[in-house]
Structure 1
Amino acid sequence: MTIAEEKQAQRAAGRAARKALDAPQRAAANAALCRRVLELDAYRAAHTLLLYAAFGGEADLAAVAAEAARQGKTVAYPVCGEGFTLTAAVPNADGWVVGQYGIRTPVPERSTLLQPERLDLVLVPCTAFDADCRRVGMGKGYYDRYLPLCTRAVKIGIALEVQRVPRAAVDDHDQRLDAFVTERGIYTWK
């Protein structure tokens, strides 16, 4: 099986596993995961965060976003652009739309755009991951292109434990993260 075929298989398995969780399991997992994120030194030290709006059964960081806003932290969300580019945007109250791929996303014209080097913490979704902090994303490479630009940020993957695989199928361009947080624990490789 090629790397591309392995990635496709891991994407499908990861999506199916997270969608198979029932509502109480999902709620408990999200609550535990968010508690772990809020306890991280990297979260406590961060002033500017890039999160994501959960989609398709992804781990939901709404509680992290709410607490960060309550603490006066700047909370940005990704905007997918042409050429598979990513932009960090802090949306105004009326700055949301269901965008490309059916994902809730900020409207750039109704948001404050941030340069990637301003970010202190980037929380990255995935379809599959391994204990060595490698991830399989959705397949377009948005985060793999964007993360190297986030020069001062701690980059942490976010997933549900059911998405963990023995070894993530990765290419040379796939970005390894500093850590991964699930509802059951924290994985680091450094």
Structure 2
Amino acid sequence: MSADSTDEMELLARRFKEATRERIKRTRLATPPEARLARAAKIAENVRTLPEFGAARTVLAYAAVRGEADVGALEADVRARGGRWVLPRVEGSSLTLHEVPEGEPLVPGAFGIPEPSPSFPVVAPEDVDFALIPALAVDERGHRIGWGGGFYDRLLGRLTCAFRCAVVYDFQLIAEAPVQGHDVAVDAVVSERQCLIFGRG
């Protein structure tokens, strides 16, 4: 394949991803809050059916913003079995992971996303057993489209021992996402109606 063809494919992939981001963001923000809450509750129920989640002692989650599916209800499940609830914090161009002590508040972070305090215990990516991964869209092969910053693509490759599960609403599932060199697939995707398991990538 020529360099020109490769450049053209990269350009088309970027355009597709940007158009998909805009469409999903509009749909997600147009969904009434009560509908999002109901769907998030069903998503949590579906995550609970995964044996990988039930066995996990260290679970990476995220603080939901901008209409994302809220996975906070799963924190109680993890703590009830003596597990660790972990959230990411932006540090430069990477995400660092921190255990959140029970009852401790988050602090305002980069991009308006609540984050753990840098004083909270650091967790190595390879110590995570199960990772709840946000996305703007995920396709039927486990390839996700994020916000475009590449933070989670860089993190996913470091979660070497984790079962990586994208969390989305049903309307965020797409037939196929273009795959670029930096993209890393997830092992499963859960929505309010479906659990799709792809296997460890």
Q: CA deviation at 1:169?
A: 2.9
How many percent identity over aligned positions? 32
Counterpart of 1:67? 77
2:8 maps to which residue?
none
For structure 1, the 5+ residue unaligned runs are none
Question: 1:16 aligned to 15, 26, 36, which one?
Answer: 26
> Which letter does structure 2 place at the counterpart of 1:172?
G
Q: Which runs of 4+ in 1 moved over 3 A?
A: 92-95
Tell me the secondary structure at the aligned position of residue 149 of structure 1: coil
1:112 matched residue in structure 2: 121
> What's 2:156 paired with?
147
Aligned amino acid, residue 35 of structure 1: E
Aligned in 2, Cα 1:97/1:151: closer, same or farther, shift over 3 Å?
Answer: same
Instruction: Give the Å deviation of 1:33.
Output: 0.2
Structure 1 position 170, deviation (Å)? 2.8
Distance in 2, Cα, partners of 1:21 & 1:131 = 23
Per-residue deviation at 1:94? 4.0
**Residue 166 of structure 1 aligns with which residue?**
175
Residue 33 of structure 1 aligns with an amino acid whose one-letter code is I
Whether 2:154 is the aligned partner of 1:137: answer no
Letter in 2 for 1:73: G
**Structure 2 portions without partners, runs of 5+:** 1-10
Point out which structure has higher relative CO (alpha carbons under 8 A, 6+ apart): 1
Query: Is 1:52–2:62 an aligned residue pair?
Result: yes
Q: Secondary structure at the match of 1:59?
A: coil
| Separation in structure 2 between the aligned mates of residue 169 and residue 20 of structure 1, nearest angstrom | 26
Structure 2: how far apart are the matches of 1:28 and 1:96?
24
